Amino acid sequence: MSKISEVVQRARAAFNSGRTRPLQFRIQQLEALRRMIKERERDIADALAADLHRNEWNSYNEELVYCLEEIEYMLKKLPEWVLDEPVEKTARTQQDECYIHSEPMGVVLIIGTWNYPFDLTIQPMVGAIAAGNAVILKPSELSENTASLLATIIPQYLDKDLYPVINGGVPETTEVLKERFDYILYTGSTGVGKIIMTAAAKHLTPVTLELGGKSPCYVDKDCDLDVACRRIAWGKYMNSGQTCVAPDYILCDPSIQNQVVEKLKKAVKEFYGEDAKKSRDYGRIISSRHFQRLMGLIEGQKVAYGGTGDAATRYIAPTILTDVDPQTPVMQEEIFGPIMPIVCMRSLEEAIQFINQREKPLALYVFSQNDKVIKKMIAETSSGGVTANDVIIHLSVHSLPFGGVGNSGMGCYHGKYSFMTFSHRRSCLVRSLQKEDPFKDRYPPSPAKMTHH
């Protein structure tokens, strides 16, 4: 038996022992996870710096804080969520108990990703632990420092059998996916999402797929462009553009394109100085392959700002492209880098049509002082989530589900939605053996004549 099979079987045996069932055990493990994040904050920041050139402040505010807040929220709400949930009864079940009982799915596989390699691996795990599952973590091999740190520190704080970490590249992931799981949550690309779903189908394993897509950002003429462009620049160039919900491209009227460019440039200089390469807040591209891919997307475009890169350090300057032709490669794939194409649209209707001709994105952004524009954009398009007059922020709200639709994924998590994702909601009806009278008419023999009530 392979090492990976052994790890999965050990987790299954530990789950079957029943030790994850009591609320107290789950709370204990969540508290241990919180302690791990607080005590090893320095080590985590060092790993993120090595993987993505991220400083300590950014590591905390872009990753760790989300995990800590999720844990706090779970600890507060979990005693209420684990209770059986009574439901409305029908006329014939008035004397019965009818309720939903949440039970753990079993052994869950969480496949993390490299762009926020701590948060996007640990935050889903919080919900899976809260729901009482065994969890096998497979961090992304591209963020290798964070991956090896997770494999080192998680067993020091959490139950070793229930929450193992498996590291490795494509061969290991392929091997893991041959095993039978009760649930899989994967964060990453649409292409790999299809591979995960195919593997899951062999065992009829349900999946949550957190994928990406080109998240559009519509900027209305009726808008405070200074504020809008500062917020857009923040979301676009954070982590060097490697964010699944980053605004991918801007749609705006040609009459404001130049202003948008100038105001984006102004914001970028405020954030990162004249040379972003020297800024401690500006990230680097994860790998040479991604660096080459991104530089290729800039080729042949009208560069209004940036456009340069340094292969040795995998640095790409914050870049703005104007009058972009929608047929060019930069508009055909998710950019996932610090390149902002601007595509001109003559009207809101044209922008809505443009968005709807493409795959459904993970996020959609609209900037306008006119509430009707915002409501029309929400009513007539589809995306995983929406933020109006800002970017990214919708996924910091515990009470909003985070997930995609269509090509940007399926299923969701965060807050109670995580608990529900990793639980089976079991329908229960409990009836007394007394009082047989009300049920007499259901038994054969049936009356010869049909009587309509």
Q: Which residues are catalytic?
A: 210, 244
Tokens 């990793």 — which residue? Answer: 422
Element (H, E) at 301: none
Cα–Cα distance list, 343 to 129, 193, 323 (Å): 44, 29, 6
E-state strands within 281-357: 303-305, 309-310, 315-316, 319-321, 339-344
Crossing angle of helices 23-39/65-81, nearest 10°? 170
Cα(291)–Cα(308) distance, integer angstroms: 11
CB environment 109-120: b (16+ within 10 A), e (fewer): bbbbbbbbbbbb
End-to-end Cα spacing for the chain = 63
153/156 Cα distance (integer angstroms): 5
For residues 95 and 6, the answer to whether their CB atoms sit within 8 Å is: no
What's the Cα-to-Cα distance from 292 to each of 115, 227, 298, 299, 312, rounded to whole Å?
Answer: 17, 33, 10, 11, 11
Please tell me whether residue 207 adopts helix, strand or coil conformation: strand
DSSP state of 449: S
Instruction: Indicate the DSSP class of residue 204.
Output: T
Would strands 97-104 and 423-430 be described as parallel, antiparallel, or unpaired?
Answer: antiparallel
Are 121 and 110 in contact, with CB atoms under 8 Å apart? yes
Residue 254 gets which letter from DSSP? G
Tokens 């995609």 map to which residue?
A: 404
Contact between 343 and 251 under an 8 Å Cβ cutoff? The reply is: yes
Q: Which residues pair with 344 in a beta bridge?
A: 252
* Contact yes or no for 207/200 (Cβ under 8 A): yes
Find out whether 303 and 320 touch, Cβ atoms under 8 Å.
yes
Q: Is residue 111 a contact partner of residue 186, using CB atoms and an 8 Å limit?
A: yes
**Sheet of 134-138, strands arranged across:** 134-138, 107-111, 183-187, 207-210, 409-410
Q: Alpha helices of 206-256 — where are they, by DSSP H?
A: 225-237
For residue 147 the two structure tokens come to: 């991956």
